[in-house]
């Protein structure tokens, strides 16, 4: 009912009386008044004039179902199953629960705040309230488990395209799962998989995008390596619009991968990469390698040539880029 009232207010150019809304909705004027108050609490600016009625002045930049769905141009993603939370432990944890109960591909989970936001290998992902887009979605690709790293590539390419579309920002991909602007991390991707040896049950992809933070909103130790879309574009951004662009570009890029194969994706990945051609340090679980990132293989491994000319094929690890002063960051 609340959403219906919002649609009526939205469609009306001018003030609309409580009586008109109550006729259209078939509920009492007192009930309308209560719903309007709830909308105001959610951040909608609604002017009420005695004997004249109500007028919607401003919508909030809140990750509410109705805001996300209004104008969302996807075929399926977010439209069939969308779960929004004020606060949650982790959108990935919730999406995995949904996936295990059979929820379909394109199911989306979004939160204003995560209390247990996760990075890779159990690391923490800072997810303060209202500052970012903390999002997960379910995929059920008909591919072998060994191909799953390709999904992180697909998502990284989709993210770069989404930021270009939403804000005209040229973001870059740092192997394997970081999106950078001006060499600082604006977004991290966490790909989690449930599989049998020959079949993927589901993949949950989590994306954390820093959106509204000012530099002092980051913990001190992050300030020289993290950024937000607000910092990068020097203006407050619309999280709703960015989220819509992410869902639209993700759906498009993922379907492109399923229908046309990985070659087009990996070529775009190479084009958007900040890692290739750079002198880097890679920390894997067993060693530290210094060298030049020369390419990515078709299985998404990073190929690094060390000083002796030996080529290392890196399956998993953390990359830092060599700066002009010789340090790695």
Binding site for ligand BT5 (CB under 6 A): 90-92, 114, 117-120, 123, 125-127, 134-136, 177-178, 185, 188-190, 206-208, 210, 222, 226
Q: How many other C-beta atoms are found inside a 10 Å radius of the C-beta of residue 260?
A: 10
User: In the complex with ligand BT5, which residue's Cβ is closer, 185 or 305?
Assistant: 185
Smallest separation (angstroms) from ligand BT5 to the CB of 215: 12
CA–CA separation, 192 vs 214, rounded Å?
A: 30
CA–CA separation, 194 vs 102, rounded Å?
A: 12
How many residues are present in the chain?
329
CA–CA separation, 310 vs 262, rounded Å?
A: 27
Q: Decide: helix, strand or coil at residue 57.
A: strand
User: In the complex with ligand BT5, which residue's Cβ is closer, 18 or 188?
Assistant: 188
Smallest separation (angstroms) from ligand BT5 to the CB of 51: 47
Give, for 279, the enclosing helix (H) or strand (E).
strand 279-283
CA–CA separation, 320 vs 280, rounded Å?
A: 6
User: In the complex with ligand BT5, which residue's Cβ is closer, 92 or 238?
Assistant: 92
User: In the complex with ligand BT5, which residue's Cβ is closer, 167 or 243?
Assistant: 243
User: In the complex with ligand BT5, which residue's Cβ is closer, 20 or 81?
Assistant: 81
Which residue in the shown chain puts its C-beta closest to ligand BT5?
188
Smallest separation (angstroms) from ligand BT5 to the CB of 31: 37
User: In the complex with ligand BT5, which residue's Cβ is closer, 91 or 107?
Assistant: 91
Smallest separation (angstroms) from ligand BT5 to the CB of 61: 18
CA–CA separation, 39 vs 324, rounded Å?
A: 52
Do 132 and 158 touch, CB atoms closer than 8 A? no
Do 140 and 214 touch, CB atoms closer than 8 A? no
CA–CA separation, 162 vs 169, rounded Å?
A: 9
Smallest separation (angstroms) from ligand BT5 to the CB of 189: 6
Smallest separation (angstroms) from ligand BT5 to the CB of 111: 8
Q: Phi and psi for 223 in degrees, rounded to 5?
A: -65, -30
């Amino acid at each position: 009912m609340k959403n219906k009232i919002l649609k009526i207010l939205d469609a009306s150019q001018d003030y609309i009386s409580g009586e008109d809304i109550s006729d259209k909705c078939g509920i009492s004027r007192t009930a309308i008044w209560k719903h309007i108050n709830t909308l105001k609490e959610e951040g909608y600016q609604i002017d009420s004039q005695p004997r004249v009625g109500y007028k919607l002045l401003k919508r909030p930049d809140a990750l509410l179902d109705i805001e996300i769905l209004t104008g969302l141009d996807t075929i399926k993603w977010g439209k069939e199953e969308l779960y929004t939370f004020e606060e949650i432990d982790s959108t990935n944890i919730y999406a995995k629960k949904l996936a295990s109960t059979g929820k379909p591909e394109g199911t989306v989970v979004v939160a204003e705040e995560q209390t247990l936001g996760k990075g890779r290998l159990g690391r923490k992902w800072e997810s303060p309230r209202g500052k970012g887009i903390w999002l997960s979605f379910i995929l059920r690709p008909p591919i072998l488990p060994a191909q799953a790293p390709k999904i992180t590539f697909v998502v990284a390419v989709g993210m770069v395209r989404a930021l270009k579309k939403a804000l005209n920002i040229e973001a870059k991909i740092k192997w394997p799962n970081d999106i950078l602007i001006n060499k600082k991390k604006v977004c991290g991707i966490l790909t989690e998989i449930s599989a049998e040896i020959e079949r993927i049950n589901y993949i949950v992809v989590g994306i954390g995008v820093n959106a509204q933070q000012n530099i002092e909103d980051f913990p001190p130790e992050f300030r020289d390596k993290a950024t937000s879309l607000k910092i990068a574009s020097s203006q407050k951004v619309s999280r709703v619009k960015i989220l819509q662009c992410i869902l639209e570009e993700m759906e498009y890029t993922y379907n492109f991968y399923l229908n046309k194969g990985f070659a087009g994706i990996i070529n775009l990945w190479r084009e958007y990469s900040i890692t290739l051609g750079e002198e880097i340090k890679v920390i894997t679980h067993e060693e530290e390698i210094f060298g030049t990132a020369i390419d990515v293989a078709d299985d998404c491994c990073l190929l690094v040539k060390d000083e002796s000319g030996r080529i290392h094929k890196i399956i998993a690890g953390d990359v830092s880029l060599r700066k002009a002063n010789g340090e790695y960051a």
